Amino acid sequence: MKVLICDATDPKALETIAAAGIKVVNKPDVTPDELMQILPEYDAMVVRSRTKVRMPLIDVASNLKAIVRGGVGLDNIDVEHARSKGIRVLNTPAASSDSVAELTIGYLFGLARRVPQMTASMKSGKWEKKAFKGSELSGKTLGLVGLGRIGQAAARRAAALGMNVLFYRRTATEVDYATQVDLEELLARSDYVSLHVPHTPETHHIIDAEAIAKMKEGVRIINCGRGGTIDEDALCDAITSGKVAGAALDVYAEEPSKGHKLFSLDQVIGSPHIGAATSEAQARVGAEVAENVIQALG
């Protein structure tokens, strides 16, 4: 049995897989063209978010028994087509939840107190004490669009900070630390809106110009979920007009994101899709990846 590692994966996971008698080929920079050529040789593949596993690739993978995604979402894999071919599709949905939730909370503080902007000011030799009056999170309302594992982890932390937490989810859900409302009510009441939904046809641009118009003046928006769920041009216009006071983004419609006009705005802070990039999360993801590969090929 052979497994192809298509994206960077914790070295201990590779050792665990190899110790189970499975041949591991580590190609974390493999190109799409190369994958088309070599994938028929393999019984399983491990991917993160970089590698896209679409129908043409699945169709040439004549020996493939499992696709293991190290991470939460499966939107980079044509899951139903793979399963129709008898290929198991597995992921690690819980391993990185805390890391992404903590980044979300970090962005709440970053937006409330403008931490990145203050740091940049200090590094430029300025002492702009009167320019950076912030606001407290306690007593403010956080609206979560989506309440999966990451949304729940973020909600618990926000509630512990004294925030009033609302959430929108299509299925009825009861939790002690947040209140379920419809999307329109969430948009109207929230001081901060944070997205925690996959990117699907139903959630594409769920936050667009029309949705933003329903929000409070001076709302702040966070997206550590999936790119494509926010209309980035509409968000840019709303920040420029003053409707939205700030935004914090870890994910983008196109990745890598380079030179988008959002980042010409001082009110925007961001990161290069690193929500799960902590040493603890990577170790947990790796352990679950190894377990999934061994189980699938055992």
List the single range of 29-43, 178-192, 252-266 with lowest mean pLDDT.
Answer: 252-266
In angstroms, the Cα distances linking 118 to 170, 248, 263 are 39, 15, 16
CATH class of 97-270: alpha beta
Please report the pLDDT score of residue 84 as a whole number: 97
Active-site residue numbers? 226, 255, 273
Structure tokens at 131: 């320019």
- Quote the mean pLDDT of the chain: 96
Phi and psi for 166 in degrees, rounded to 5? -110, 155
Distance CA 49, CA 33 (A): 17
Please report the pLDDT score of residue 73 as a whole number: 80
CB count in 10 Å sphere of residue 159: 16
Residue 261 has pLDDT above 90, yes or no: yes
Please report the pLDDT score of residue 51 as a whole number: 96
- Give the residue-averaged pLDDT of 253-258: 89
Distance CA 219, CA 246 (A): 7
Please report the pLDDT score of residue 298 as a whole number: 82
Please report the pLDDT score of residue 5 as a whole number: 98
Please report the pLDDT score of residue 91 as a whole number: 95
Q: Quick one: CA dihedral 122, 267, 114, 110, positive or negative?
A: negative
Please report the pLDDT score of residue 93 as a whole number: 86
pLDDT tens-digit readout, 140-193? 999 999 999 999 999 999 999 999 999 999 999 999 999 999 999 999 999 999
Q: Reply yes or no on domain 2-95+278-297 having CATH 3.40.50.920.
A: no
- Give the residue-averaged pLDDT of 21-33: 97
Structure tokens at 146: 């989506």
Query: Which residue ranges does the chain devote to CATH 3.40.50.720?
Result: 2-95+278-297, 97-270
Residue 287 has pLDDT above 90, yes or no: yes
Please report the pLDDT score of residue 169 as a whole number: 97
Please report the pLDDT score of residue 79 as a whole number: 96
pLDDT tens-digit readout, 70-113? 988 898 999 999 999 999 999 998 899 999 999 999 999 999 99
The more confidently predicted of residues 49 and 121 is 121
